[in-house]
Amino acid sequence: MQAAPRTSEPVLRIESLRKRYGPKDTGVEAVRGISFHVCPGEIVGLLGINGAGKTTTISMILGVLEPTAGSIAIGSIDLLRHRSRALACTNFAAVYAPLPGNLTVYQNLRVFALLYGVRNFAARLQEVLDTFDLNRFRDTKCGVLSSGEQTRVGLAKAMLNRPRILLLDEPTASIDPASARDIRATIRGFAQRTQTGVLWTSHNMYEVEEVCSRVMFLSQGEIILEGDPRTLPAQYGKSTLEELFISVAREPLDLGALQS
């Protein structure tokens, strides 16, 4: 497959995004006016402890939740105005969202290929089966596969429509290190080859350092830090991204203390 043409236009643009649950005076604001973008071929890490607002943000990008305020654009397509067109350029994978276990690998992929309107879907299905080494499981029901095998099927589904933006929520959780390494390499290659942007959430800081060119730390619904995962820790007196993550979790809004 030839590499996709390069363009400087972001594949994902978030502007002043907010999400409040409940009434204005007594509800909870889970996301508080965040703005960021993801460029073609870029893998960006969205980091934060549980409850920081990551899942709410991803759910809004997927059109599952409606924002209280702000905008989401997939390329030049406004998600709120043209939901179907925007979501046709988007896909998602997470270990907590397995495909139907009573369908075989091929049946699951065929269903999603039809849902996404994938052209020449038989050839495309074979491509993703080859990419994720799934040919031997082609006629196996997904419910009997191992967690690592199910992860590969989920990622194959997520790449079927060659999305402009791919959302990955803990994509290698609960699988062995060798399989995780292979999956990371496959995703990096896919992003570079197709110029797909990737928004990646993970609690594995080693993984984030390996795959992400940029990270954003989300705390209490706000982006409080952003930068290169390989150089950002040193700016706050930490030797590793994991140390920085722990510090942000303990003192999320006291950045001055982190730098001291």
Q: What is the maximum span of the chain, computed from C-alpha positions, in angstroms? A: 58
At 165 the pLDDT is 97
Tokens of 90: 């988007």
Q: Which of 202, 200, 205 is nearest to 239 (CA)?
A: 205
Q: Work out the pLDDT band at 75, boundaries 50, 70, 90.
A: very high
Which DSSP category does 135 fall into? G
Helix (H, G, I), strand (E, B) or coil at 255: helix
How far apart are the C-alpha atoms of 176 and 158, rounded to whole Å? 21
pTM to 2 decimal places: 0.90
pLDDT, tens digit (0-9, with 9 covering 90-100), for 145-196: 988 899 999 999 999 999 999 999 988 887 888 888 988 999 999 999 999 9
How far apart are the C-alpha atoms of 111 and 115, rounded to whole Å? 6
pLDDT, tens digit (0-9, with 9 covering 90-100), for 136-148: 999 999 999 988 8
Mean pLDDT for 40-65 is: 94
Q: What is the CA radius of gyration of the chain?
A: 19
Burial 130-162 (b: 16+ CB within 10 A, else e): ebbebeebeeeebeebeebbbbbbbbbbbbbbb
Tokens of 6: 């390069």
Give the CATH architecture of domain 9-88+197-260: 3-Layer(aba) Sandwich (3.40)
Q: Which amino acid is at 47?
A: L
Tokens of 106: 């091929």
